[in-house]
Each structure stands twice: as C-alpha cells, then as structure tokens.
Chain A
C-alpha cells in the first residue's frame, strides 16, 4: 500500500528545545498508525506538523506525494487533544457550521448515526458529557469524509466504558478504509486499534513496527507469576531468578516447558500460576525507560 503521508527529516526547533529531531515516517493508506510517547516526547508537535498546523523548522511533509496545501485542508480530518467549540450552539448547529466550511461532506444524518449523536442533537455543546463531546469532535473530524484522520489523545479523561465505546467508533471508521493517525497514553488502546505504532522519546522515533512484531523483537521470553506464599524461597534454590511484583513472584524464562517441569518436580504448587503476556506498556518501559503515564 503506498504511503498516504510521508515525513522526511522533520525537525522542529524551539528556543533551547529540539522538540522533533530528524523524524522519518511513511504511513500507508488504510491503516491505523499509533504515535506513542511520554509527555514531552514531541508526539503532539510531530502530529501538528503532519496536520499542517505548524511548519517544521526543516524537513518535508508530503500528502499523496504533494506538499500540504489547500487540497490537504479539504481532505484531512483532525481531532485535537484540546479544543473548544463556538459557544451557545447545539450539537446539530455545530455540525451544520462545520459542514458549510467544506466543499465535499458526508451527509449529516449519516454522520449522526455513525457517531451516535441523535439523542443529543438539540443539546448545547457546553452541556454534553465527555464521551458525547469526543463523539461530536470525531464527527467534526469526519464531516468532510477525509481520507486521513488525526486523533490526538481522543480518549484522555474518558471513563473506561466511554473509552471502549469510542474504540468501537474508531473501528467503524477504520472499516471504511480510512487512514488514522492516533496518539494515545493508553497502551491497551494502541494495541486494540493500531496496525502499526511508533514510539517517540526525546523528539526521536525509538521503535517502530506492528505491535506483535515489536513485542516479539523486544521480548523473546514469557513471565510466570507465582504467589509468594506458594513458592517461598524454593526458587532461589532452583537457580531461578525471580523479581517481586506485589505479592507475586515473577520469573522470566525463554524455556517455558523446562521451567514448568522444574517447578513441578520440586513440589511447587502451580494451582495459582499465571502466565503473563508482555504488553506494549512493558515495551514502552523497555525502550524509553519511562512509564507512559508519567
């Protein structure tokens, strides 16, 4: 699939801060691309350069092989991390306002159905819940039927149920063969939605690939979790290195069959044994040395 958007040697220099440091990206059409990174990693600056909101200090961004221009504004959809809407307008009026700013638009009824806005059409935009607001903002991002959609931390601050609902909505959008560029703090969100991710730290991309690919590249082993009470001091006698994680002991092994055999032979109760899969959170800590939420 040819890239819908490419960035070459992107640099953004603020006084005393190199926010983006020679980033290269080529995002294929039709995928959901996740940009992850701790606060200050440069992901919002990067995404805003890709959106055409800020110019880079150097480097180029091409959309469908062309520099960003008037066509880009017509064909791109953006949901910012922080945004405000015109006050004293209802949800329906806000949709109408944005609809009239574009040449080509999705029919409003279709958008209302897609983003489940029918119940709140007459509500003042200042009086809707966080989840409803995010659905409205997504509808505004989709109003011009864009080929490329930027979602900058769209579920931050939402409760788990609202977040799950939003994921379903993004899946629906994905199923329409749209390209989505997503930034998020939530690893499970990136894992659930993204076909490809890039992890940023200190203005650079430190790791990039599909979630499964990256996990297998960085973690060749698995983690066994055994309650401290069941294993006691026997693990060290067996020569197994364990780390404490709350009231559990975690054993990393790349020879699962052999390790399990060892534990059984030494009479360790495995009734409460759990095998934990590596997550993107682990990957993130591994490559950046930081927790994503910090």
Chain B
C-alpha cells in the first residue's frame, strides 16, 4: 500500500505541476460544451432521421416529395409511444404519423427538427399537423452533454494514461522503477487511480461550471451518475493502460489509441444516435465502454433512471475495468 500511495502521490504532483497540461484539461471540455451547446453542431450530419408510423408505403403516397428528398432516412415504427420517446430523447429528429390524418412531431430544442419542419412545409405544404411531444421535452444540450463530457473523458483517459506510460518507458523511468521492489500491478493501479481522481475532479468542476450557465436537466441521482462516470472512466483508463503495457513508441501508441478512439467516437452515441443504423453496427457499439457510460448517464439525467435500471451498463463497465487492468498488468513490460 505504501508503494502504491508513493507512486500515486508522485504522479498527482507531476500532473498538477504541469500547468499547461492542467489548464488544457480544464479548458478543452469547457470550450467543447459551451461552444457546441450554443451552435448547431449537427451541421456536418448528412442524414436526418425521421420515424414513420403507419407504414413506409403509405408515406410514399401521402408525402411523395418528402419521401424522395435526399439525406433523410425514414425509419418505420409500429408503436407511436415508443417513437415519440425517441423524439423526446433526440434519438430521432422527426416523427411522422401517416396512419390517419397526417401529423408530425419534433423536439422544439432540436436543430435538426427545426430544419426538417421547414423541409416538410416546403415539400408537403401544411397538410401535416404539428404535434408537440408529451411530458418533459429534453433539450438538445441535455441530450448532448453526457456525450460531450464522456468523449472528453475518453480522450483524457486513453491518451493521458497511454502517452504518459510510453514516455516513462522511453526515457528510462520505468527501467529505474523496475530496479525497485515496486510491482507492475501496484504501478499500473496507481496510474489508474491518479488519472481517475484527476478526471473526476475536472469533470465535476466542468459540469458544475457549465451548469451555472446552462442549468442541465437532472432527473436522477447524482450519486448514481457519479458511479457510472467513475466506472466508465476506470474502464477507459484500463484500455489506455493495456495499450501502453508494452508499447515503446509514442507514434505506435498514438496509432493504436486512434484505432480505439475513432470507432468509439462515432458509434458510442456521443455525437448522434445510432437509431436506424444497421443492427450489426448497433451491436458493435455495445462492446465500447463509452456507449454504456453515455447511455447510462443520459438515462439518469434525462429519464431519472435508478441504479437498478442502469445496472446492466454498470456491470459492463465494472467487468471491462477489471478485465483490462488485469490483462494490462499481466502483459506489462517495464522496458
């Protein structure tokens, strides 16, 4: 324990005294949350998602021009309530019901919903009746926040830990530690806890700071959210430790980390929902810890999900943390 605490303390000191890195770790998520929350960040998305209740075939006859408009993906739904829930939680941009009198739903805080409304007016006139979603409508920023914070945590976890260990290995510091009685697990666990503490403190400060301006929606328990965020960060840090367990080159580590980061960034639901994506893509997304962390955080914040309700995500995050740290310690090389 003494050795673990010694390495933990030293790593914390190193991080806190590296002022430029510390400042950037604070500035980056602030800039992302505030910048993206107040600009329509979805401008680079080419496909709008429109749910259709009442059948795609009927949609073709009721709204042929809209149906043939490019860059809109139509996703059939049988159950109206489920589909409306998707609108509330920004998993879909618009819902059209062509089962009876034509109607459409949008989330009034959704930038894409706003644009689709203009498109439907332009293509189909005003034959569709505008509907508002029932219950608490989730603002775009509330949907977006867990994703952006999660993504920032992912970068800080993977690159923060991965590059540091590779640097230690390259400059010979790990070799120096190898000559002491310190064990690989003690060293790696200290790195994990050090990074975890720093990330949780930074994320909490960023969340609290942004909350002063934006007043995020919070339906659930902060403790459950803290547990999910902690386990998510642990799981991501463990992946960083595993990548760095044997790598001796920053270039190689960067390449491997990018291979890990990009699929997570695109498929974890941080930027956009995978609603309507192919089934295998949705299944693939389930292997990423970030997917589970963001899904659980959104459920807690926007739907008031309890710990029991997010337990499947918690289990995945816990098991992947243990698995990756154990594997990292097993394959770890000091040099």
A: residues with CB less than 8 A from B are 51-53, 70, 73-74, 76, 78, 80, 82-89, 93, 96-98, 100-103, 140
Q: Within the complex, what minimum Cβ distance (angstroms) separates A259 from chain B?
A: 53
Size of interface on B: residues with Cβ below 8 Å to A: 25
Q: Are B13's CB and A88's CB within 8 A? A: yes
- Ordered nearest first, which 10 A-B pairs have the shortest CB separation? A100-B6, A84-B171, A88-B17, A78-B179, A73-B181, A101-B180, A84-B173, A88-B14, A83-B172, A97-B10
How many Å lie between the Cα of A100 and that of B9 in the bound state?
Answer: 11
Interface SS of B by simple majority: helix
Q: Contacts of B179 on A, CB cut-off 8 Å?
A: 51-53, 73, 76, 78, 80
Closest to A141 in B: B179
28 contacts between A and B (CB under 8 A): A53-B179, A53-B335, A73-B179, A73-B180, A73-B181, A74-B181, A76-B179, A80-B175, A80-B176, A80-B179, A83-B173, A83-B175, A84-B176, A86-B11, A86-B14, A87-B18, A88-B13, A88-B14, A88-B17, A89-B14, A93-B13, A97-B6, A97-B7, A97-B10, A101-B177, A101-B180, A102-B180, A103-B181
Q: Contacts of A76 on B, CB cut-off 8 Å?
A: 179
**Counting CB contacts under 8 A, is B5 at the interface?**
yes
Known: A51-B179, A83-B172. A100 touches B14 (CB 8 A): no
Given contacts A87-B18, A97-B10, 20 further A-B contacts (CB under 8 A): A53-B178, A53-B179, A53-B335, A70-B181, A76-B179, A84-B168, A84-B172, A86-B10, A86-B173, A87-B14, A88-B13, A88-B14, A89-B14, A100-B2, A100-B3, A100-B5, A101-B6, A101-B177, A102-B181, A103-B181
How many Å lie between the Cα of A126 and that of B7 in the bound state?
Answer: 18
Q: Within the complex, what minimum Cβ distance (angstroms) separates B134 from chain A?
A: 55
B: residues with CB less than 8 A from A are 2-3, 5-7, 9-11, 13-14, 17-18, 168, 171-173, 175-182, 335
Q: Contacts of A52 on B, CB cut-off 8 Å?
A: 179
How many Å lie between the Cα of A13 and that of B115 in the bound state?
Answer: 69
Known: A53-B179, A89-B10, A89-B14. A101 touches B172 (CB 8 A): no
Q: Within the complex, what minimum Cβ distance (angstroms) separates B169 from chain A?
A: 10
Closest to B168 in A: A84
Interface SS of A by simple majority: loop
Q: Are B173's CB and A85's CB within 8 A? A: yes
How many Å lie between the Cα of A214 and that of B227 in the bound state?
Answer: 70
How many Å lie between the Cα of A101 and that of B179 in the bound state?
Answer: 11
How many Å lie between the Cα of A83 and that of B172 in the bound state?
Answer: 5
Known: A84-B173, A86-B11, A86-B173. A98 touches B180 (CB 8 A): yes
How many Å lie between the Cα of A74 and that of B182 in the bound state?
Answer: 10
Q: Are B172's CB and A82's CB within 8 A? A: yes
Q: Contacts of B6 on A, CB cut-off 8 Å?
A: 96-97, 100-101
Q: Are B18's CB and A88's CB within 8 A? A: yes
How many Å lie between the Cα of A102 and that of B18 in the bound state?
Answer: 27
Q: Within the complex, what minimum Cβ distance (angstroms) separates A237 from chain B?
A: 61
